[in-house]
Amino acid sequence: MGTVLNYLEKYGKYTFAEMPMTEVDSLALCQLSYLKFDGMVSEEGEPVILKSLREHPDYEKLFADVRYEKVNRALLEEMIQSRRFGHMKLNYYVNVIEEKWETQFSAVTCFPDEEIVYVVFRGTDETIVGWKEDFNMAFLSPVPGQEYSVRYLESVTGKFEGPFYVGGHSKGGNLAVYSAMNAAPHIQDRIIRIYSMDGPGFRPEVLEKCGYDKIAEKVVKILPNSSLVGMIFESDMHFQVVKSNTFGLLQHDPYTWQVTGNHLVRANDLYERRKEMDNNLNQWILSLDEQQLRTFVDTLYHVITASKADNLIDFTAEWRRSMNGIIGALKQVDEETVKMLKEMVRSLFEIARANRKRQIAAKTEGAWNLLTQKQKPEKQNKSKPSPL
């Protein structure tokens, strides 16, 4: 089985007139949005052709996020060399990081050919403030990034006519869905499809308030079969499960998703153990009130930022210094907060234990019913034999 890189190598020779947009194209564009286009693609100016980026003096800055540096280089090179994406235009790039408002938001609009427009939202980048915003989604609605996404979608789609796609990976998938369900009706009518690639869902009251049903049929949510991020608040959304080349949380990396031909390889369902863990986590979050959630996330953020690292790359690279800062920060947490945190964590384990007991009881009852059914004597046929 291949990956999105193998797909581009094999199918990049086809234009969109020769082979229509596929879900793997969407995955490639979602990942492309992680590149740092600052100073290369403008917010309001002329569009930039993808091929031209190779000659830009700031080309190396595209790969500042070292988490995906090697594979992102390969992705961009394959796209540049292809007939399919080489002449794609990029425009309306924004990148906002506001530590005060705990916001990290980035989006870019892609024009693969004259007939196709794809509005793509970047997922969580390597900044710690971006990571914090993901957690804020658990209790705040809307978070600033979600509000930005609605304004961005309405502003950008007013600059061109016709239908378009919208999508994103991770938090970008959440923003794609959020912006679409809060956009004006005439914009919603123009949307062809909304891709959420392992993006977190929404609290039930948010889906109801924002009228998710208006766009539900256009949403394509794709999860790897050990998804954690994409199963946060996953409830009524229908999702498709794909296979990955790796295990656990590493499956969140779209470069591990298996591709055959021009589509992703489907799995039957999420792993049973993963579904159980996701269900426990969602029940736990919904069981806490807003103050408890704020305390939990704010304390966690305070502890992480005490490491003095500006981003998760520095945090992990200098882990000894990071841990010293964390240990110091933990000592400063007041007793009341520590007590609240202990109670919240205890409630998570209680929910998990209760769910496990119910599962065992259901399995036991099912096995007992099956056993007693097999032991029932077959009814004798007392009808008179046929004279024939």
Tell me the per-residue pLDDT of 249-298, one tens digit each, with 9 for 90 and over: 678 889 999 999 999 999 875 545 555 555 666 566 666 676 776 776 67
Give the pairing type, strands 116-121 and 219-224.
unpaired
Vertex 105 angle, CA 104 and 111, to 5°? 155
- CA dist 94 and 120 (Å) reads 11
Top mean pLDDT of 75-84, 227-236, 282-291, 303-312 is at 75-84
For residues 350 and 70, the model is more confident at 70
> Most confidently modeled of 126-135, 143-152, 202-211, 322-331?
143-152
- The per-residue pLDDT for range 356-365, each reduced to its tens digit, is 676 576 667 6
Q: In this structure, what DSSP letter does residue 91 have?
A: E
pLDDT greater than 80 at residue 136: no
Burial of 42 from C-beta contacts in 10 A (0-12 / 13-18 / 19+): middle
* Dihedral angle, C-alpha 57, 312, 68, 229, nearest 10 °: -130
Mean pLDDT of the chain: 80
pLDDT digits (tens, 9 = 90+) for 25-54: 999 999 999 999 999 999 988 999 999 999
The predicted pLDDT at position 271 comes to: 47
- Cis geometry, peptide bond prior to residue 142 (ω within 30 degrees of 0): yes
CA distance 129 to 139: 16
Kindly report the length of the chain. 388
Residue boundaries of the structural domains of the chain: 4-269, 288-364
Please report which confidence band the pLDDT of residue 184 belongs to, taking 50, 70 and 90 as the band edges. Answer: very high
The residue that leads in pLDDT, 177 or 362, is 177
Looking at the predicted structure, is the pLDDT value of residue 247 above 90?
no
Q: Which of 114-123, 175-184, 331-340 has the lowest average pLDDT?
A: 331-340
CATH no., domain 4-269 = 3.40.50
Show the DSSP H helices in the chain as ranges.
Answer: 4-11, 23-32, 69-81, 128-136, 144-156, 171-182, 185-188, 204-210, 272-287, 290-305, 312-317, 319-332, 335-375
Q: What pLDDT was estimated at residue 98?
A: 75
C-alpha 297, offset from chain centre: 19
- Asked whether residue 386 carries a pLDDT value surpassing 50, the answer given is no
